[in-house]
Structure 1
Amino acid sequence: MRYLATYDLMETMRNTNQWLGATAKAIGEAPAFSAFPNPLFQMLSAWGEVTERSFARMVAKPDWGIYSVVGEDGRDHVVSIETLVERPFGNLIHFKVQGRKEKARRVFLVAPMSGHYATLLRSTVASLLPDAEVYITDWHNARDIPVSEGKFDIEDYTLYLVDFMRELGPDINVVAVCQPAPLTLAATAYLAELDPEAQPNTLTLIGGPIDPDAAPTDVTDFGNRVTMGQLEELVIQRVGFKYEGVGRTVYPGLMQLNSFMTMNAETHTKAFTDQIWAVARGEAGDHDKHNKFYDEYLAVMDMTAEFYLSTVERIFKDLEIAKNEFIVDGHKVDIGKITDVAVKTVEGSKDDISAPGQCYAALALCTGLPEEKKAHHLEEGAGHYGIFAGRSWRDNIRPLVLNFMDQNAGRHAEQAAKKRSRKAAAKGEKPQLKAV
């Protein structure tokens, strides 16, 4: 599979389906047929509209779409996105609320690199903005990164998180969602041992596979069933000539999307069938529930081959995090070194991606952390998406997470103030004497 032509062939198939949808829509809406009303043309146009939109979204990075937030003064404040750290494979960005006094509560969201863009956490960001300064990892699509930038595996990912935490300071509250949970735990332990003044204030892990064997799912079963050689031959491809990353070996987002869709094929088939009928009846909108969800769900990105393969091998097969045997840049990380970071785990009782027990395993690994600094929440009836972006997050989990941060606030404030003062002095700015 690792040939440029196979990647280009896959993109050609996607592009062809997009073109077929556009063509069907144009034919169905042709003015010449308006004199002879026929449900067939309405259905053809509706099918074409849904098909064109769906396949077009697969190669477009969604916008954040967060334009303003209501402040305590009751006014709308414009939200701008500023890049704090720029790296080849991902940036650290800040959602800056213009004209609002900086919030004392600071949250660093670690977005998954699992086939979707960081915008998958758009609603999570929007829900936190009124009450906190929000920062997030904005991972780049591997197809757009030149081969000259080198490799990017789970050790590189972990070191990116280490650098981002150092940049943000020790009063930051880290929230890792799904895939990055084990690597964020490792990054925190790395800092706790080698740079304790940079370790975060709190760490919240949401639905992540800390110990995949704690509660088997279809995802873990697949990882155990397929050998690394089979996996490499089946899913790894080289980026074709259309993109800047030509020649880079990747796990294509389109293949990941196919896996997502087949896991719940019946549900997705019904959703698209219902949408076609809704469009034909004139009841669908550009930003209706279906389009709002699938515009994000269908927007996929490629992952570097080494990141995908090392995740499967080291996190799911060898259980390096679960066994506390993870090595980063030659250094064996000891999760037991975490002694001054409050840790909370969150799980959904109906999570079929990271089943209950997988994330909770993190607390047992934190052997050096007092019990009063550990917390766990199991959200009854919640699935994977709901625990970080759905109703369960909005109504129950978000308030609990914010309260957890507040309960442990202030412990690193003095360290943070000193660090920011040193940074300001190095830049020739007026030192800050108080923590924000």
Structure 2
Amino acid sequence: MTLYDMSESIRQTNAWMGSTTKAFWSNPAFSMTMSPFPSLFAAWGEVTERAFEKVAEKPSWGIESVVSKDRDYPVTKNIDLQLPFCDLIHFAAARNRPVTRKVLLVAPMSGHYATLCRKTVVSLLPNCDVYVTEWKNARDVPLSAGKFDVEDYTKYVVQFMKHLGEDVHVIAVCQPVPLTLVATAMLAEDDSSPNPRTLTLIGGPVDPDANPTEVTDFGNRVTMGQLEHSVITPVGFAFPGVGRKVYPGAMQLASFMAMNAGTHAKAFLNQIGAVARGEASDLDKHNKFYDEYLAVMDMPAEFYLSTVERVFKTREVARNAFTIDGEHVDISKITETAVKIVEGGRDDISAPGQCLAALDLLPNLPDSMKEHFVAPEAGHYGIFSGSAWRNDIRPAVLNFIDAHNGASKKSTKVTKLKTS
């Protein structure tokens, strides 16, 4: 806990140093010199302060309206179901006519907040009512809430699906893909529960060994003991979750950035120059990206460790050997939910083939209820939030939903996307 609090103190100190440097070198007295250094020092302070402040700040969804058919519709956001580790939030646009598509977007719990899928939500709102899993920062969850591992995560997804009923269409992005597949199988085995109409799995590691990447092969390069010793720490005294063991967001961020350290260093140097020249703005490309990228959350230790061990090391989902409370969940029982796989040809996190492995686990699902879509030029982020998603993947997913929605052909037209 002392180490955790020390890490937070270092973050606050760096933010303070940035703020102080900015204030000092922005003094009008320095404008009397011809030297470029005062403006560069002030710019360094501004960029440094912003970066370290964003690490501890939960981003806002900022979705107030959408434009559909040249009309602007206000959007409301409400908590539909509240659980200790996650809120199910509902975005709905106040349209003249209701839509027939109800979508559950299972957002990743992999270090960043669910707002990483903001653009995905915005793009779906003109055509769908959208529900999103907003996972909570583990440091804010008291120890009294108990543990949270991959089995608990899967049970949460099952509970959300049951809550939304049989007419829900589920879209899972990246990390939750294998566990959402298991959750769907649990509903398929339960005759008293409705099955989702469709399940769209986007860029997730169903079988990490199908096409290993540096990220998905990480679990094979370390032992569980090494992992627990090196990255797990209790939450410090300044937070509601004091004493809870977590994989700290700051440590995850350091790992993310180390993978492309040169690229990130160049981006921040360029931003310092832009600020010094007066060319930067609050919502420029750099700030929009890094405000989201730097905002990280702690993961429960048991969730992180059980994910590495059961999804990546022993490949329980890939082998159809996953168990919940000691009971085997048979993925092949999925027979009523149509399944679409989406992959990016340039995905360097969950490479093509890892997500496609899900279809091999569904021998009893008719071929007419299986689809596979590859965006050849899309990277990992692009398959759910970039131009590949907007232009190619989103229309294909909506058409897939409509094909299995039980709706009339008249109501299946996909609205041309515009957002405010």
Taking structure 2 as the reference length, what is the TM-score of the superposition?
0.95
Matched, 1:142 2:138: yes
CA distance in 1, matches of 2:257, 2:251: 10
Hey, what's the Cα distance between the residues in 2 that align with 1:77 and 1:348?
Answer: 32
- The within-5 A match list for 1:224-239 is 224-239=220-235
The Cα shift of 1:409 comes to: 1.2
Within the candidate set 19, 23, 26, 2:20 is matched to: 23
Determine the C-alpha separation between the residues in 2 that align with 1:40 and 1:53: 20
- Matched residue type, 1:53: R
Aligned counterparts of 2:218 and 2:180: Cα–Cα separation in 1: 24
**For the Cα contact (< 8 Å) 1:71–1:100, is it kept in 2?**
no
Shift of 1:30: 1.1
Paired residue for 1:43?
40
1:337 corresponding residue in structure 2: 333
Match of 1:115 in 2: 111
Q: Distance in 2 between matches of 1:124 and 1:375?
A: 20
Deviation readout 1:286-338 (Å, 9 max, x if unpaired):
00011000000000000000000000000000100000010112321000000
Where 2:125 maps in the other structure, the secondary structure is helix
**Cα deviation per residue 1:363-395 (whole Å; 9 max; x = unaligned)?**
000111011110001111111000000111111
**Aligned partner of 1:135: which letter?**
Y
Cα displacement string for residues 259-307 of structure 1 (whole angstroms, at most 9, x for unaligned residues): 1101111111111111111111111110001100000000000000000
1:97 pairs with 71, 90, 93, which one?
93
Cα distance between partner residues in 2 of 1:56 and 1:199: 43
Shift of 1:15: 1.1
2-side partners of 1:129 and 1:65: how far apart?
A: 13
Match of 1:65 among 62, 67, 70: 62
Counterpart amino acid of 2:71?
A: R
Q: Tell whether the 8 Å contact from 1:239 to 1:245 is kept in structure 2 after alignment.
A: yes
Cα deviation digits, residues 346-365 of structure 1 (max 9, x gap): 11111111011000000000
C-alpha separation between the residues in 2 aligned to 1:163 and 1:217? 32
Comparing 361-370 with 323-332, greater Cα deviation is found at 323-332
Cα distance between partner residues in 2 of 1:303 and 1:100: 41
2:2 to 5, 14, 23: 5
Detail structure 1 runs of 4+ shifted over 3 Å in the superposition.
Answer: none
Counterpart pick for 1:54 among 33, 51, 64: 51
Matched, 1:387 2:359: no
Paired letter, 1:258: A
Find the counterpart in structure 2 of residue 301 from structure 1. Answer: 297
What is the alpha-carbon root mean square deviation over aligned residues? 1.1
- Partner residue in 1 for 2:271: 275
The match for 2:411 is none
1:220 aligns with 2:216: yes
Question: Number of aligned pairs?
Answer: 407
Distance 2:228 2:123 in 1: 39
Partner of 1:14: 11
Once residues 117 and 283 of structure 1 are traced to their aligned partners in structure 2, the CA distance between those partners, rounded to angstroms, is 29
Question: Secondary structure at the residue paired with 2:103?
Answer: strand
Q: CA deviation at 1:99?
A: 4.9
Q: For 2:348, which of 337, 349, 352 is the aligned residue?
A: 352
Q: What's the counterpart of residue 313 of structure 1? A: 309
Unaligned 5+ runs, structure 2: 408-420
- Partner residue of 1:255? 251
User: In the alignment, is residue 406 of structure 1 matched against residue 402 of structure 2?
Assistant: yes
Secondary structure at the residue paired with 2:296? coil
Measure, in 1, the Cα distance between the counterparts of 2:145 and 2:102: 31
After TM superposition, give the deviation of residue 13 of structure 1 in Å.
1.3
Separation of aligned partners in 1, 2:121 and 2:81: 19
Q: Pick from 264, 289, 296: which aligns with 2:260? A: 264
Partner Cα separation in structure 2 for residue 329 and residue 47 of structure 1: 52
- Distance verdict in 2 for CA 1:21–1:106, change over 3 Å: same
Distance 2:48 2:382 in 1: 27
3-state SS of paired residue (1:219): coil
Out of 187-196 and 370-379, give the one that drifted further: 187-196
Pick the aligned partner of 2:74 from 67, 73, 78: 78
1:210 alignment partner, one of 182, 206, 209: 206
SS in 2 for 1:293: helix
3-state SS of the aligned residue for 2:78? strand
For residues 51 and 176 of structure 1, what CA distance do their matches in structure 2 show? 34
Partner of 1:363: 359
Aligned-pair CA distance for 1:182: 0.2
Q: Which amino acid aligns with 1:168?
A: L
Q: 1:404 to 1:196 in 2, by over 3 A?
A: farther
Q: In the alignment, is the contact (CA less than 8 A) between 1:144 and 1:243 conserved in 2?
A: yes
Aligned partner of 1:176 in structure 2 is 172
2:129 aligns to what? 133
The corresponding residue for 2:410 is none
CA shift for structure 1 position 130 = 0.5
Q: Please say if residues 199 and 341 of structure 1, whose CA atoms lie closer than 8 Å, have aligned partners that are also in contact.
A: yes
